[in-house]
Structure 1
Amino acid sequence: MKQVNKVYLVAQTKWAQWMAKKMAKLSHSALVVIWSLFIGISGGYSIYMIVQGFSGATVNNIKITPINKPLQLLQQDDEISKENSSADKDKFEKIIRFRAYIDSLGRCPTGK
Protein backbone atom coordinates (compact mmCIF):
# COMPACT_ATOMS: atom_id res chain seq x y z
CA MET A 1 0.00 0.00 0.00
CA LYS A 2 2.87 2.35 0.73
CA GLN A 3 4.24 1.79 -2.79
CA VAL A 4 0.90 2.79 -4.30
CA ASN A 5 0.85 5.95 -2.20
CA LYS A 6 4.40 6.82 -3.25
CA VAL A 7 3.58 6.32 -6.94
CA TYR A 8 0.45 8.43 -6.57
CA LEU A 9 2.36 11.20 -4.79
CA VAL A 10 5.07 11.24 -7.50
CA ALA A 11 2.46 11.38 -10.26
CA GLN A 12 0.59 14.14 -8.45
CA THR A 13 3.78 16.18 -8.00
CA LYS A 14 4.76 15.81 -11.66
CA TRP A 15 1.26 16.81 -12.77
CA ALA A 16 1.34 19.90 -10.52
CA GLN A 17 4.77 20.92 -11.85
CA TRP A 18 3.64 20.45 -15.47
CA MET A 19 0.48 22.50 -14.86
CA ALA A 20 2.49 25.25 -13.12
CA LYS A 21 4.81 25.53 -16.16
CA LYS A 22 1.83 25.75 -18.55
CA MET A 23 0.01 28.33 -16.43
CA ALA A 24 3.12 30.49 -15.99
CA LYS A 25 3.11 31.14 -19.74
CA LEU A 26 -0.44 32.57 -19.72
CA SER A 27 -1.27 36.24 -19.25
CA HIS A 28 -3.33 37.56 -16.35
CA SER A 29 -6.40 38.10 -18.53
CA ALA A 30 -6.18 34.54 -19.94
CA LEU A 31 -6.01 33.17 -16.38
CA VAL A 32 -9.09 35.19 -15.42
CA VAL A 33 -10.99 33.84 -18.44
CA ILE A 34 -9.98 30.22 -17.69
CA TRP A 35 -10.85 30.66 -14.03
CA SER A 36 -14.23 32.19 -14.91
CA LEU A 37 -15.03 29.36 -17.33
CA PHE A 38 -14.09 26.75 -14.75
CA ILE A 39 -16.20 28.39 -12.03
CA GLY A 40 -19.12 28.88 -14.42
CA ILE A 41 -19.12 25.32 -15.74
CA SER A 42 -18.60 23.59 -12.40
CA GLY A 43 -21.07 25.89 -10.62
CA GLY A 44 -23.67 25.43 -13.34
CA TYR A 45 -23.34 21.66 -13.23
CA SER A 46 -23.58 21.68 -9.43
CA ILE A 47 -26.75 23.76 -9.55
CA TYR A 48 -28.19 21.45 -12.23
CA MET A 49 -27.51 18.38 -10.06
CA ILE A 50 -29.08 20.02 -7.00
CA VAL A 51 -32.21 21.01 -8.95
CA GLN A 52 -32.49 17.49 -10.38
CA GLY A 53 -32.25 16.06 -6.86
CA PHE A 54 -35.12 18.19 -5.58
CA SER A 55 -37.31 18.05 -8.68
CA GLY A 56 -38.68 14.63 -7.80
CA ALA A 57 -38.02 13.23 -11.26
CA THR A 58 -37.76 9.45 -11.01
CA VAL A 59 -36.36 8.86 -14.47
CA ASN A 60 -32.84 8.04 -13.26
CA ASN A 61 -33.79 6.24 -10.05
CA ILE A 62 -32.69 2.64 -9.75
CA LYS A 63 -35.36 0.32 -8.42
CA ILE A 64 -34.46 -2.92 -6.73
CA THR A 65 -37.00 -5.69 -7.13
CA PRO A 66 -36.59 -9.20 -5.80
CA ILE A 67 -36.49 -12.11 -8.19
CA ASN A 68 -39.22 -14.62 -7.42
CA LYS A 69 -39.36 -18.08 -8.88
CA PRO A 70 -42.94 -19.02 -9.91
CA LEU A 71 -44.57 -21.72 -7.78
CA GLN A 72 -45.44 -23.79 -10.86
CA LEU A 73 -41.78 -23.97 -11.74
CA LEU A 74 -40.88 -25.10 -8.22
CA GLN A 75 -43.47 -27.87 -8.40
CA GLN A 76 -42.18 -28.96 -11.79
CA ASP A 77 -38.63 -29.06 -10.39
CA ASP A 78 -39.77 -31.35 -7.59
CA GLU A 79 -41.52 -33.67 -10.03
CA ILE A 80 -38.50 -33.81 -12.33
CA SER A 81 -36.24 -34.40 -9.34
CA LYS A 82 -38.39 -37.32 -8.20
CA GLU A 83 -38.17 -38.91 -11.63
CA ASN A 84 -34.41 -38.40 -12.06
CA SER A 85 -33.32 -38.95 -8.46
CA SER A 86 -30.84 -41.74 -7.82
CA ALA A 87 -31.28 -41.45 -4.05
CA ASP A 88 -33.72 -43.77 -2.37
CA LYS A 89 -37.19 -42.53 -1.49
CA ASP A 90 -36.44 -41.80 2.20
CA LYS A 91 -33.49 -39.56 1.44
CA PHE A 92 -35.46 -37.78 -1.22
CA GLU A 93 -38.35 -37.12 1.19
CA LYS A 94 -35.88 -35.73 3.76
CA ILE A 95 -34.54 -33.35 1.13
CA ILE A 96 -38.07 -32.22 0.23
CA ARG A 97 -38.92 -31.65 3.93
CA PHE A 98 -35.67 -29.71 4.42
CA ARG A 99 -36.47 -27.56 1.40
CA ALA A 100 -39.94 -26.82 2.81
CA TYR A 101 -38.39 -25.97 6.19
CA ILE A 102 -35.90 -23.55 4.63
CA ASP A 103 -38.69 -21.93 2.58
CA SER A 104 -40.83 -21.53 5.72
CA LEU A 105 -37.94 -19.80 7.48
CA GLY A 106 -37.82 -17.25 4.69
CA ARG A 107 -41.50 -16.45 5.18
CA CYS A 108 -41.50 -15.94 8.95
CA PRO A 109 -40.09 -12.74 10.49
CA THR A 110 -37.85 -14.58 13.00
CA GLY A 111 -36.33 -16.78 10.29
CA LYS A 112 -35.12 -13.82 8.28
Structure 2
Amino acid sequence: MKFTFKKNSKNSPESVKYKERFPMGRFNEAIFLLQHKCAQWLEQKTAHLSAKSWIVILFCFVVFTVGGNIYLIVDGLNENSNKIERSIISRPTNTVAFDTKSTTLNTSLSKTQIERMARFQMYMDSLGRSPTGKLVQDSILRSRPGLLDSLVIVENYYRS
Protein backbone atom coordinates (compact mmCIF):
# COMPACT_ATOMS: atom_id res chain seq x y z
CA MET A 1 0.00 0.00 0.00
CA LYS A 2 1.27 3.41 -0.93
CA PHE A 3 1.46 6.10 1.73
CA THR A 4 -0.71 9.11 1.01
CA PHE A 5 1.09 11.44 3.38
CA LYS A 6 4.54 12.84 2.77
CA LYS A 7 7.25 12.11 5.26
CA ASN A 8 8.74 15.06 7.06
CA SER A 9 11.82 15.76 5.05
CA LYS A 10 14.73 17.89 6.16
CA ASN A 11 13.78 20.54 3.63
CA SER A 12 10.20 21.05 4.77
CA PRO A 13 9.18 24.70 5.27
CA GLU A 14 8.62 24.20 9.00
CA SER A 15 12.15 22.94 9.61
CA VAL A 16 13.64 25.73 7.46
CA LYS A 17 11.80 28.34 9.53
CA TYR A 18 12.97 26.68 12.75
CA LYS A 19 16.57 26.66 11.53
CA GLU A 20 16.36 30.35 10.65
CA ARG A 21 14.99 31.17 14.10
CA PHE A 22 17.23 28.72 15.94
CA PRO A 23 20.03 31.11 17.03
CA MET A 24 17.55 33.77 18.13
CA GLY A 25 15.42 31.21 19.93
CA ARG A 26 18.45 29.85 21.77
CA PHE A 27 19.45 33.38 22.70
CA ASN A 28 15.97 34.13 24.07
CA GLU A 29 16.00 30.86 26.03
CA ALA A 30 19.39 31.78 27.52
CA ILE A 31 18.13 35.20 28.59
CA PHE A 32 15.01 33.66 30.14
CA LEU A 33 17.13 31.11 32.01
CA LEU A 34 19.44 33.86 33.31
CA GLN A 35 16.49 35.94 34.48
CA HIS A 36 15.01 32.91 36.20
CA LYS A 37 18.28 32.14 38.02
CA CYS A 38 18.64 35.78 39.13
CA ALA A 39 15.07 35.82 40.42
CA GLN A 40 15.68 32.59 42.37
CA TRP A 41 18.91 33.97 43.86
CA LEU A 42 17.19 37.20 44.95
CA GLU A 43 14.30 35.21 46.39
CA GLN A 44 16.70 33.04 48.42
CA LYS A 45 18.51 36.11 49.77
CA THR A 46 15.27 37.79 50.87
CA ALA A 47 13.32 34.70 51.99
CA HIS A 48 14.05 35.33 55.67
CA LEU A 49 12.52 38.85 55.63
CA SER A 50 9.11 39.20 57.20
CA ALA A 51 6.26 41.42 56.01
CA LYS A 52 7.15 43.96 58.69
CA SER A 53 10.75 44.12 57.37
CA TRP A 54 9.45 44.72 53.84
CA ILE A 55 7.30 47.60 55.05
CA VAL A 56 10.29 49.17 56.86
CA ILE A 57 12.46 48.81 53.72
CA LEU A 58 9.74 50.34 51.56
CA PHE A 59 9.27 53.20 54.03
CA CYS A 60 13.03 53.93 54.08
CA PHE A 61 13.17 53.88 50.28
CA VAL A 62 10.26 56.31 49.99
CA VAL A 63 11.69 58.65 52.67
CA PHE A 64 15.13 58.81 51.05
CA THR A 65 13.73 59.25 47.55
CA VAL A 66 11.28 61.98 48.53
CA GLY A 67 13.94 63.69 50.67
CA GLY A 68 16.43 63.72 47.80
CA ASN A 69 13.85 65.14 45.39
CA ILE A 70 12.80 67.84 47.86
CA TYR A 71 16.46 68.78 48.34
CA LEU A 72 16.94 69.12 44.57
CA ILE A 73 13.80 71.24 44.20
CA VAL A 74 14.68 73.56 47.10
CA ASP A 75 18.29 73.89 45.93
CA GLY A 76 17.09 74.73 42.43
CA LEU A 77 14.75 77.43 43.71
CA ASN A 78 17.30 78.84 46.16
CA GLU A 79 18.88 82.13 45.12
CA ASN A 80 22.34 81.22 46.45
CA SER A 81 22.67 77.93 44.61
CA ASN A 82 25.23 77.38 41.87
CA LYS A 83 23.69 78.71 38.69
CA ILE A 84 24.86 78.56 35.15
CA GLU A 85 26.36 81.95 34.51
CA ARG A 86 25.30 83.82 31.42
CA SER A 87 27.75 86.16 29.80
CA ILE A 88 26.99 88.76 27.21
CA ILE A 89 28.24 87.87 23.76
CA SER A 90 30.68 90.53 22.69
CA ARG A 91 32.76 91.12 19.62
CA PRO A 92 36.44 90.25 20.06
CA THR A 93 38.79 93.23 20.00
CA ASN A 94 41.38 91.64 17.70
CA THR A 95 39.09 91.00 14.73
CA VAL A 96 40.01 92.03 11.22
CA ALA A 97 37.43 94.10 9.43
CA PHE A 98 36.22 92.39 6.27
CA ASP A 99 34.88 94.79 3.72
CA THR A 100 33.54 93.09 0.62
CA LYS A 101 33.72 96.21 -1.51
CA SER A 102 37.41 96.84 -0.95
CA THR A 103 38.46 93.21 -1.28
CA THR A 104 39.56 92.55 -4.84
CA LEU A 105 41.84 90.04 -6.39
CA ASN A 106 44.90 91.63 -7.90
CA THR A 107 45.93 88.50 -9.74
CA SER A 108 44.86 87.88 -13.28
CA LEU A 109 44.59 84.64 -15.14
CA SER A 110 46.05 84.16 -18.53
CA LYS A 111 43.98 82.91 -21.42
CA THR A 112 45.66 79.50 -21.26
CA GLN A 113 44.73 79.06 -17.60
CA ILE A 114 41.09 79.89 -18.34
CA GLU A 115 41.13 77.39 -21.22
CA ARG A 116 42.61 74.74 -18.94
CA MET A 117 39.80 75.29 -16.44
CA ALA A 118 37.20 74.98 -19.22
CA ARG A 119 38.84 71.77 -20.51
CA PHE A 120 38.89 70.33 -16.99
CA GLN A 121 35.17 71.06 -16.59
CA MET A 122 34.46 69.38 -19.93
CA TYR A 123 36.57 66.38 -18.83
CA MET A 124 34.64 66.08 -15.56
CA ASP A 125 31.34 66.28 -17.45
CA SER A 126 32.45 63.56 -19.87
CA LEU A 127 33.45 61.30 -16.98
CA GLY A 128 29.87 61.21 -15.77
CA ARG A 129 28.66 59.60 -19.01
CA SER A 130 30.23 56.16 -18.52
CA PRO A 131 30.08 53.80 -15.53
CA THR A 132 33.86 53.57 -15.12
CA GLY A 133 34.22 57.30 -15.61
CA LYS A 134 31.55 57.86 -12.99
CA LEU A 135 33.70 56.00 -10.46
CA VAL A 136 36.70 58.20 -11.31
CA GLN A 137 34.54 61.33 -11.08
CA ASP A 138 33.14 60.28 -7.72
CA SER A 139 36.61 59.59 -6.33
CA ILE A 140 37.83 63.02 -7.50
CA LEU A 141 34.83 64.75 -5.97
CA ARG A 142 35.22 62.79 -2.72
CA SER A 143 38.87 63.71 -2.38
CA ARG A 144 38.35 67.34 -3.47
CA PRO A 145 34.89 68.48 -2.33
CA GLY A 146 33.87 71.85 -3.71
CA LEU A 147 36.32 71.72 -6.62
CA LEU A 148 33.71 72.21 -9.33
CA ASP A 149 32.00 74.99 -7.38
CA SER A 150 35.33 76.81 -7.03
CA LEU A 151 35.99 76.50 -10.76
CA VAL A 152 32.57 77.94 -11.59
CA ILE A 153 33.09 80.85 -9.18
CA VAL A 154 36.54 81.66 -10.60
CA GLU A 155 35.31 81.39 -14.19
CA ASN A 156 32.29 83.62 -13.51
CA TYR A 157 34.54 86.15 -11.77
CA TYR A 158 36.89 86.44 -14.72
CA ARG A 159 34.11 86.44 -17.32
CA SER A 160 32.42 89.42 -15.65
Greater fraction of residues in helix: 1
- TM-score norm. by structure 2 comes to 0.31
- TM-score norm. by structure 1 comes to 0.41
Q: Give the number of the structure with larger relative contact order, counting CA–CA contacts within 8 Å between residues 6 or more apart.
A: 2
